[in-house]
């Protein structure tokens, strides 16, 4: 039951979904904080209307959001849609329908999304790592040194990828990839640190790596998170049809 995981008084954050209401770049990155007032049913919550600097934020009915809930029992996320807004006892409230089941959030609230798209990468020297850390405009000279891989899951905190090239745990890589199913053809260039490496049992000389971002533009991180939620929403709509 929902009450086994969350309770009235728990902090809740609503993040605007790209392509939803008023889909401007500014609004897509907004996060609104509130508190749960009541658990109405297994798929419906009442919450306080968010406020910023003492002013109410009148979020629109039918607006869809990425929902993050911070409970004593853990941190959870799901999709939600505002069903109603009303006033009671001089308090402004929102009613939200939960469009997906609660998922326990991974570290730093980043959900890993399974995928399959190409990437390129190469090891960074100590000098390049230092230069990139101190100068946001520095880009390493790539030449013909890029090696190929396939990203098999992605989150706002890191990636898991497969490659026939051998990388050691602790190694820092410069990676380039494009997010599929997006109108933009922008290339994302981020630095990652290899946390885990293993050879695949069913594919000799092919290796799987788990890595976290070490240097990433925060706008790029937001793009990745939005991509994940867009794809999740597409999957959910297909399942509903």
Which CATH number covers residue 18?
A: 2.30.110.70
Residue 241 covered by a domain? no
One domain for residues 124 and 76: no
Domain assignment of residue 68, given as a range = 2-105
One domain for residues 138 and 167: yes
One domain for residues 129 and 192: yes
Final residue in a domain of this structure, among 49, 78, 105: 105
pLDDT band at 183 (very low <50, low <70, confident <90, very high): low
Per the listing, tokens 């326990």 go with 104
The β-bridge partners of 41 are: 44
One domain for residues 75 and 138: no
d(CA 9, CA 39): 10
Residue 183 covered by a domain? yes
- pLDDT (average), residues 140-145: 82
- pLDDT (average), residues 187-215: 92
Tokens of 167: 């990388």
Final residue in a domain of this structure, among 69, 89, 105: 105
pLDDT band at 156 (very low <50, low <70, confident <90, very high): confident
Lowest mean pLDDT among 14-23, 128-137, 169-178: 14-23
One domain for residues 115 and 191: yes
Q: pTM for the complete prediction?
A: 0.57
pLDDT band at 29 (very low <50, low <70, confident <90, very high): very low
Q: Is the confidence at residue 30, as pLDDT, over 80? A: no
Residue 169 covered by a domain? yes
One domain for residues 99 and 120: no
Residue 125 covered by a domain? yes
Lowest mean pLDDT among 47-56, 136-145, 157-166: 136-145
One domain for residues 57 and 157: no
One domain for residues 113 and 40: no
Confidence (pLDDT) at 20: 42
Q: Which has the higher per-residue pLDDT, 235 or 215? A: 215
Rg (CA), the chain: 21
d(CA 62, CA 97): 10
Confidence (pLDDT) at 110: 65
Final residue in a domain of this structure, among 105, 137, 156: 105
**Helical H segments across the chain, by residue range:** 25-28, 126-134, 218-240
| Ramachandran sector of residue 62 (left: φ over 0; alpha: ψ -120 to 50; beta: rest) | left
């Amino acid at each position: 039951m929902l009450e086994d995981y969350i309770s009235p008084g728990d902090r809740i954050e609503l993040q605007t979904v790209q392509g939803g209401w008023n889909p401007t770049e500014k609004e897509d990155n907004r996060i609104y904080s509130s508190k749960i007032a009541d658990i109405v049913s297994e798929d419906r919550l009442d919450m306080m209307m968010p406020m910023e600097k003492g002013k109410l934020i009148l979020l629109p009915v039918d607006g869809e959001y990425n929902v993050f809930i911070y409970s004593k029992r853990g941190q959870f996320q799901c999709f939600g849609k505002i069903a109603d807004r009303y006033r009671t006892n001089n308090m402004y409230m929102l009613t939200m329908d939960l469009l997906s089941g609660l998922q326990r959030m991974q570290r730093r609230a980043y959900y890993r999304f399974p995928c399959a798209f190409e990437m390129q990468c190469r090891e960074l020297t100590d000098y390049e790592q230092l230069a990139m850390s101190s100068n946001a405009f520095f880009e390493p000279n790539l030449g013909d040194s890029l090696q190929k891989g396939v990203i098999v899951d992605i989150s706002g905190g890191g990636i898991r990828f497969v490659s026939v090239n051998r990388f050691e745990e602790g190694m820092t890589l410069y990676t380039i990839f494009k997010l599929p199913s997006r109108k933009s053809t922008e290339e994302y260039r981020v630095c990652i640190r290899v946390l885990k490496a293993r050879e695949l049992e069913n594919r000799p000389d092919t290796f799987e790596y788990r890595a976290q971002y070490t240097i990433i533009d925060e706008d790029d991180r937001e793009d990745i998170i939005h991509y994940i939620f867009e794809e999740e929403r597409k999957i959910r709509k297909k399942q509903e049809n």
